Structure 1
């Protein structure tokens, strides 16, 4: 390696040699810093240390491992479990006097020792795996939350506060209020009331407010500035920060920063702090913190106060990859920890990159200080034996670092960017069609598009490159990055929801040209009134579907009716668009399911998410539109932690440096304190602070270049171009020109040398190539000579046409006459409820022929039904179900409770002919009717809320669900009923009806969905649980005869039950309750805890004086199917007829 230029490496302590870490040496104690480099196996080292500590006798629950992100903590958890499982396997082999193969050095160490020592280690590792869930492997925020929970009363936090991801909405409100107060009644002058434009724009005010709220621990500067506008900006910042904190407390909101500062304050509390620190030290004698370069001063305060000097504290990080300052990370905390640590070691062997790739990066970087004299690029050794990229013909250059230089005099940046982009597309096409080969998994193979990653600085650049590659026939995807709510798909959903809320002419026209509807502008221009009216009707239909069945049903309808997938996939970028539309729909579905939002509220929620897209979390990052072989395009930040065989860097030369526009700055002062400068360009000391901030940004840029170059396993292809301002400011230019010692780039420094004039870099490691100015060769379908003969792929897989997601309604649809029924994937409860009575206009229904019993001694059977004057139909049934679901039957003013709910529902779904109070007064008698002997004659009003579970939703796997297995039919269910129902059972005749043609052959395979109206729990030593279902069926004649209670006697209800196939529904609900209790109720015994079924026909329930028929009040159908029947039916549905018949005599506990 050539000698470095004079002064390239820092002098003094910062440049001192740091010993390499030996994972086989004595386990660390005290505070130890492990300084990693890219590819040096941080996660492997942490897992190895965890296994060694466990084998040495440290309980796994006493180990704490903290990392930066959820994905990293999940990977760390997986790797530690795998390491422990591997350790257990090799110890078991050695204890059994076998010779395990493929031992790594840690295995060899742990399998060395006496037989007793090995047996002890095996016992410890086995115990750790058995209790692996007790391991604390968490993100920083999860760690803080657990610590606060474990400290209990010692932590001064509000346990009922709502944790929010960000305070952007609240900050905007406070900024608007403060801005209006400041400028709304004055002219805007900081010294007088003279009418003139405000000296602070609202956009600048909002930027100031966001900056100080997002960084609550930073000092606001400049302080005591004599300029009234500067001091006014500082005062505004402090006011917003204080007001946001005040409102946040009143609203009982909490952020991750509050969690961190709360724990830090607890540990430093003058009274409780020592007890809190002692409790944490006792709980965690060994602590490992990963990605420590991405910590901040508050997090370092917590770790230092709790563990430094008392527990074994191992801090693992790579300061060269500290690139998250914009998120609040502060590499100075890492550097401070290095000073305070008892020992510092390096991880000095790279296992990611080829040997020549490692040496090429070292040739460019070694000895450089990346933004701070203490952040050095130290030498690392290759960990792999040989390079893994080759070209048989030699026509493809395999030099590990290729610099492609655009020649010419410095000028405007735009043409240079275009030339770089064209050359990248051409080079990528050449690579994929060349004879270049990779050997990543032990066998050589041709290079594929998916072996290449293109890393860029900005998301916009990523999309430009994707389109350019697509035009050349090269598949590419933009991986991660922007929130899906910042995509055009989110705007399309907003436009559609606006039309669903209010389908007026403008919104209908706007929705028509969204990708969801798919009209072209030409079609819209030519559309006549009839076409627009038809679209308006369709939008109204979709709106009803959204309200009744949700976003998933809406998307299904739109996809089918508008041929969404087929239409979009024909277009360039269609996969991306379709993926985004579905992703946004999934978010809408989730929030509607969890929060019950209506269409207008969904629209408001989505608008807010679009506004806050810059702060959205990972779950809303855009998904890949395809998993096919494709080039990956990522930003530098998103690539961190990843690796790729070949990396392209088209923008390493391209960095714009702004002049001071007065933007908010975050920087460190000369004393090391981090501050936020809101004073604008004229603030006192601004020039010095701006220079410091620019220098820190330049350090970030150098570290980003290091991150980008070290993602490559085999090769990096980077571009350099001449531009007057962007090139000299870039990190790649500074490294190539050996300008590593300059504190920050000088934008006026002319790039008078191209990389081709450089000397000192070894040409076998760094190739300097000239970009030819020629067009791009478009490659449509790849190199046919390499692809081989094309053959038609045939679909030979057998589809399971019996598998479906079904419900009671769909199962019995064939028995309900010719009326059309929504088929297939419906779930219960349906809106409208299809298991209730038919609309009067559609026919009399199966129960219309029923008549009350012959005259009896109880004259009360002739009393009018309380609901006799109210209409029938599915809409009315849905309304009654909603009221009984949400009303509190124990309310003192039950009429008022029901009236309030009815008024709300009728306002949303108007019904003619009756009012809210009339309906409420008609339902009160049903709530106060005794439920018969099965319920100990209690009423609905007698059950406390704790003993009443409304709307028990379920989804039961049938015949194994997603796992293939033998399936049953309704004929098998009928056979099961025959075996268990005694002759005197009120439903003894039902098996024959269930076995009728059209029903008996219905296959039970897939999933059964539904919702039990209510489950009631009867008190007692062994509480019984009752399935309750509400029915509004009109069982009287349709000829104008008044509806009386005698129409709802026990025999009439039994016949109505069987005619409508409600016994099947009741049994399915009992199976759902059985499976629910089996998992949730300790000591569950079906024969004791399954109490039976109550079908409440509310039109026949008239209050405490309701007449009885066969000992049960009218309107109440009570049935207790044998527990053995429910258990066997559950097993029949789950495993098929063989399981059911084999256990027909058993009642498992």
Structure 2
């Protein structure tokens, strides 16, 4: 470790050799400095002989961590090469740094020639993101290059993680009792909330690797251990409760707290809990804290309680951790990550971070040639945003650039805020400790002197403001060019920092949020209005202009804070845009209304669909008009004609034209008022039209197009490819709202941080504790304190980033009150870091939660002329900018009274839904854990005492699905994997003894002779000659009725239906899948597996019996539909196709009866009726 005091840097003279670390505070010209260093290397302006000749543009490697920064660096380097070339031609520059660099030039013609060549070869710039660099390096190695080509990049890991989380959730809960399940559901109510919590851990492969080596607890065993503890305590309390009152009274305890009524109530509540017959969960009465030994001692003047053993026992009991959350998170993280890795291997996926791992493995294998190849290609490297590195990334460069090889690292550890994406501040600090040449940039070129001095004052009042030894705050100087920078309103110079103070000591969080949002909105309204009148101005670089929307940015932590502030801005007619938001168009309110309208256009004579379309806010009909549709014949005819006309437009001009006509006909304006939440947004509607028009090129069938649209609406957001809504405003007519993380690197003349007093007080999550413990295994004492310190330090860095975005003015919300969330936190845990970080900084590092202390410190800050404390909104703002009231008369609200809760009734059906006469369900179904558990409990032991055979295998839809899964996944030629089969049995909570039975059963099916004449067995099929689960979609050409189908089958007695089909008329799409389609000899066959339980023996599956079942369940109708699908498929794929020559027939296999006994029981073979197929072709 090297102890180094960083020096102030001059980028034109700094020696360029070995490893160099440059720390650049916010606004100090980090990118500009990197560009100057780049030009020096290009021209050979360096003391090192190795680089005296200068480097080619392709030899200077620049690496950063985001695509946005990479693009910005590329533009800046191109620009400054051109600017410096012009300066060399003129031999003059008004830029102070460039003029210093000019003084280093001895041969101007040569320099101009080098810069001209650099401009001409600018396309060879070697600027990469860390992932782009690793990919480039891997391609240098032939083996790795081939490896990458064989794999597919997994751009978005979330969908796969979510899919696996749902699967994990299902099988994990299947083994648990309802009591444990209930406890776990209190932590996470579905797989999605679980994944949200553990995703940061899943993304840290090194930590997962460490976690696999730790000893895991069994969640069931831990549950019973904790329940036993609670039962033991209850027993002791029951034995001791009659003495507690007298023991407390004997002490000099505070009688205002321990009144007779309080004691009686507390003891009764606890005793009632302790005497409960059953203990199933970890509930502990809150009143028990009053009987802790430590609590009583604080509230009494006595040195000792007469009999303190039991009260100390209460202390020990309450200090125990009654939770299964950490065990569950660890189990989930390890299992989901393992399943994720299996999916990656199976599908040949690789992630972007895998590129770093591959690259490190390649470089780390002491392969001198590879390092030398990289070094020869890139003799120097400049790493930007180095504080966002991690150990593996740094080690790659450390391995390549050894000794005197130039490696320049540019960073600001005070802005290290991306731990959630894998950045590790600890890795940075370790790297820093091994670098001798350390510098820092000491001049802020961005902000006004007042802003700079104010931030210097805030952070310089603490010796170690960032709580980390090697993250030092160096006060920065201001640039002379910003001396005249100012913000004036009505001739009054505005302060650099304005604290908007709420003095209400008892205000709740929600009340504070409302107050600060209103205050912020009024100030913005005042500034913008004054700017329009010419009374609010900004002066930058001696240029004066009026304040407008684009000058103001509101900095928040998350989407919820953004929405809170947007609501108040909207009330004052101020448009705003949350820049961090990526709203999926498929989740917009307009998309569902467009779907309903298009469904009505395709079915203009269906009253239900027409009414629903008219109820949309796009068509804007009120309730009275909609209700009157059936009774007003002329109005009904008019609407039907209108919708028929839209269908004609759709056929002739396309779907976008239809949507444009709707906008014209219904006079939809460009409305984006948050208060009128149902007002359609014209730009969203047009964007939807564009998407549908584009999709209609590949999906020509209108019903299939509607189905595609509905699928994207109803599916989970992360399971579809998102289409993000484009911003709805012109560049300069809205207030920017941006998250702290997205604001990093950006600057705004005026900023507001409204929620600073509540944003930075998040408690440490269970996952954060796990991550910290894995990273700090050597720490044994005060772990909780160190975890909190680690989290608190990151929150201070977030505050620093937020404060340093401003050029001229920053308003910050703050409250004297201790918020509700903070109060609860203090009661639960003894923490050194129990206050909000804004308070911590203001109070000079004092962590006392004291209103008086905060007010005193604010008063001290107020003495600085650059800082203002405002606790009352000025009268001028109150007087001139009142919030407009909404017009709420009944007439104007008439069309809003229609309920927004409609079911999706688009007709997308299947054979099974038709025969059951049920409405199809298209909504994304979430897993009902409780139902799953109850089902498993019922089934778990019911076959324990029976002989295990295919006939005694559990029946029902769920177990039928299992059998179909097995048949789908097993190979027809290889042995069945017992481990895989055991896993499937465990997922369905079935006894492992079924494994051997199922294997033999499946072999019987595969080797069964289906046709003795042809010696047809599934095991003999070539893998190229069969398809499992052939999925199909059949668009319904015209309205399909049960009568129409019944008549088709009635005319052909051999295929008549015993029970008539009965279902509502439908129009749309029929979907399904055929279990097996195969080619044998020269003909094609289809197979449908049935797991129906008919009886206890093979005789129950005689031809006579199975024919009855086939008629009863309409399986003959199903076979005809499947035959239609196969017939159509073969017509498209076989030249000179003939039904009689190529269609071999259909099989229904009742698999429970199929075994080694030489019998045809359970096997139903038939050749479909070609006449019925032809008639069905007219429908589908």
Q: Same fold (TM over 0.5)?
A: yes
Which range moves more in the overlay, 410-419 or 712-721? Answer: 410-419
Alpha-carbon offset, residue 706 of structure 1: 1.0
**Are 1:81 and 2:78 matched, yes or no?**
yes
Which range moves more in the overlay, 146-155 or 203-212? Answer: 203-212
Deviations 1:402-437 (A, max 9, x none): 212111323322222222222223323333445342
**Are 1:291 and 2:385 matched, yes or no?**
yes
Structure 1 residue aligned with 2:549: 449
> CA contact under 8 A between 1:665 and 1:693: conserved in structure 2?
yes
Distance change in 2, residues 1:48/1:526 (3 Å): farther
C-alpha separation in 2, matches of 1:429 and 1:243: 53
Distance change in 2, residues 1:135/1:497 (3 Å): farther
Taking the TM superposition and a 5 Å limit, the aligned residue runs for 1:207-222 are 207=196, 210-219=199-208, 221=211
Alpha-carbon offset, residue 690 of structure 1: 5.5
Give 5+ residue unaligned stretches, structure 2: 45-53, 223-325, 823-833, 885-1082, 1085-1120, 1139-1180
Structure 2 residue aligned with 1:51: 39
Would you tell me which structure has more helix in proportion to its own residues? 2
Q: What SS is found at the alignment partner of 1:668?
A: helix
> CA contact under 8 A between 1:212 and 1:237: conserved in structure 2?
yes
**Are 1:106 and 2:98 matched, yes or no?**
yes
Aligned pair partner of 1:247 in 324, 343, 349: 343
Structure 1 residue aligned with 2:109: 119
Structure 1 residue aligned with 2:903: none
Alpha-carbon offset, residue 520 of structure 1: 5.0
Normalised by the length of structure 1, the TM-score is 0.58
Structure 1 residue aligned with 2:133: 143
C-alpha separation in 2, matches of 1:757 and 1:169: 48
**Are 1:72 and 2:173 matched, yes or no?**
no
> CA contact under 8 A between 1:498 and 1:603: conserved in structure 2?
no
C-alpha separation in 2, matches of 1:418 and 1:570: 16
C-alpha separation in 1, matches of 2:687 and 2:467: 39
> CA contact under 8 A between 1:370 and 1:702: conserved in structure 2?
yes
C-alpha separation in 2, matches of 1:347 and 1:611: 43
Q: What SS is found at the alignment partner of 1:645?
A: strand
Structure 1 residue aligned with 2:215: 224
**Are 1:759 and 2:825 matched, yes or no?**
no
Alpha-carbon offset, residue 452 of structure 1: 1.8
> CA contact under 8 A between 1:390 and 1:436: conserved in structure 2?
no
Which range moves more in the overlay, 730-739 or 478-487? Answer: 478-487
C-alpha separation in 1, matches of 2:42 and 2:347: 45
Q: What SS is found at the alignment partner of 2:78?
A: helix
Alpha-carbon offset, residue 737 of structure 1: 1.5
Q: What SS is found at the alignment partner of 1:138?
A: strand
Alpha-carbon offset, residue 650 of structure 1: 1.2
**Are 1:130 and 2:234 matched, yes or no?**
no
Aligned pair partner of 1:488 in 588, 603, 606: 588
Q: What SS is found at the alignment partner of 1:237?
A: helix
Alpha-carbon offset, residue 346 of structure 1: 0.6
> CA contact under 8 A between 2:198 and 2:333: conserved in structure 1?
yes
> CA contact under 8 A between 1:39 and 1:353: conserved in structure 2?
yes
**Are 1:649 and 2:753 matched, yes or no?**
yes
> CA contact under 8 A between 1:188 and 1:198: conserved in structure 2?
no
C-alpha separation in 1, matches of 2:567 and 2:623: 23
C-alpha separation in 1, matches of 2:774 and 2:1131: 74
Normalised by the length of structure 2, the TM-score is 0.57
C-alpha separation in 1, matches of 2:198 and 2:642: 45
Alpha-carbon offset, residue 246 of structure 1: 1.0
Q: What SS is found at the alignment partner of 2:156?
A: coil
Taking the TM superposition and a 5 Å limit, the aligned residue runs for 1:303-322 are 303-309=397-403, 311-322=405-416
Which range moves more in the overlay, 699-708 or 629-638? Answer: 629-638
C-alpha separation in 2, matches of 1:779 and 1:198: 46
C-alpha separation in 2, matches of 1:574 and 1:104: 56
> CA contact under 8 A between 1:207 and 1:664: conserved in structure 2?
no
Deviations 1:913-959 (A, max 9, x none): x99959997999xxxxxxxxxxxxxxxxxxxxxxxxxxxxxxxxxxx
Structure 1 residue aligned with 2:708: 601
C-alpha separation in 2, matches of 1:658 and 1:26: 42
C-alpha separation in 2, matches of 1:199 and 1:650: 31
Distance change in 2, residues 1:164/1:778 (3 Å): farther
Structure 2 residue aligned with 1:629: 733
Structure 1 residue aligned with 2:365: 269
Q: What SS is found at the alignment partner of 1:65?
A: strand
Q: What SS is found at the alignment partner of 1:625?
A: coil
Deviations 1:212-237 (A, max 9, x none): 43333323659325463565653442
Q: What SS is found at the alignment partner of 2:84?
A: helix
Structure 1 residue aligned with 2:836: 730
Alpha-carbon offset, residue 362 of structure 1: 0.3
Taking the TM superposition and a 5 Å limit, the aligned residue runs for 1:71-470 are 71-94=68-91, 100-102=92-94, 104-110=96-102, 112-114=104-106, 117-154=107-144, 157-184=147-174, 187=177, 202-203=190-191, 205-207=194-196, 210-219=199-208, 221=211, 223-226=214-217, 228=219, 229=222, 231=327, 233-269=329-365, 273-309=367-403, 311-366=405-460, 367-388=463-484, 390=486, 396-434=492-530, 435-470=535-570
C-alpha separation in 1, matches of 2:402 and 2:132: 20
Structure 2 residue aligned with 1:610: 717
Alpha-carbon offset, residue 200 of structure 1: 7.7
> CA contact under 8 A between 1:18 and 1:346: conserved in structure 2?
yes
Q: What SS is found at the alignment partner of 1:157?
A: helix
Taking the TM superposition and a 5 Å limit, the aligned residue runs for 1:869-888 are none
Deviations 1:870-921 (A, max 9, x none): xxxxxxxxxxxxxxxxxxxxxxxxx99xxxxxxxxxx9xx9xxx99959997
> CA contact under 8 A between 2:9 and 2:439: conserved in structure 1?
yes
Alpha-carbon offset, residue 183 of structure 1: 2.8
Aligned residue pairs, count: 761
Structure 2 residue aligned with 1:888: none
C-alpha separation in 1, matches of 2:149 and 2:391: 25
C-alpha separation in 1, matches of 2:682 and 2:539: 35
Structure 1 residue aligned with 2:317: none
Distance change in 2, residues 1:42/1:581 (3 Å): farther
> CA contact under 8 A between 1:407 and 1:754: conserved in structure 2?
no
Distance change in 2, residues 1:599/1:648 (3 Å): same
Taking the TM superposition and a 5 Å limit, the aligned residue runs for 1:843-858 are none
Aligned pair partner of 1:38 in 26, 30, 33: 26
Alpha-carbon offset, residue 468 of structure 1: 1.6
> CA contact under 8 A between 1:499 and 1:539: conserved in structure 2?
no
Alpha-carbon offset, residue 327 of structure 1: 2.2
C-alpha separation in 2, matches of 1:622 and 1:755: 47
Quote the RMSD (CA, aligned, Å). Answer: 4.7
Structure 2 residue aligned with 1:1135: none
Deviations 1:774-805 (A, max 9, x none): 895564999xxxxxxxxxxxxxxxxxxxxxxx
Distance change in 2, residues 1:410/1:195 (3 Å): closer
Taking the TM superposition and a 5 Å limit, the aligned residue runs for 1:980-1129 are none
Alpha-carbon offset, residue 145 of structure 1: 2.1
Aligned pair partner of 1:716 in 802, 810, 815: 810
C-alpha separation in 2, matches of 1:674 and 1:202: 35
Distance change in 2, residues 1:91/1:566 (3 Å): closer
> CA contact under 8 A between 2:525 and 2:574: conserved in structure 1?
yes
Q: What SS is found at the alignment partner of 1:287?
A: strand
C-alpha separation in 2, matches of 1:201 and 1:34: 47
C-alpha separation in 2, matches of 1:386 and 1:476: 29
> CA contact under 8 A between 2:586 and 2:712: conserved in structure 1?
no
Distance change in 2, residues 1:704/1:502 (3 Å): farther
Aligned pair partner of 2:871 in 749, 755, 770: 770
Alpha-carbon offset, residue 389 of structure 1: 5.2
> CA contact under 8 A between 2:12 and 2:36: conserved in structure 1?
no
C-alpha separation in 2, matches of 1:189 and 1:666: 25
Q: What SS is found at the alignment partner of 2:751?
A: strand
Deviations 1:471-498 (A, max 9, x none): 2244433333343458534753785599
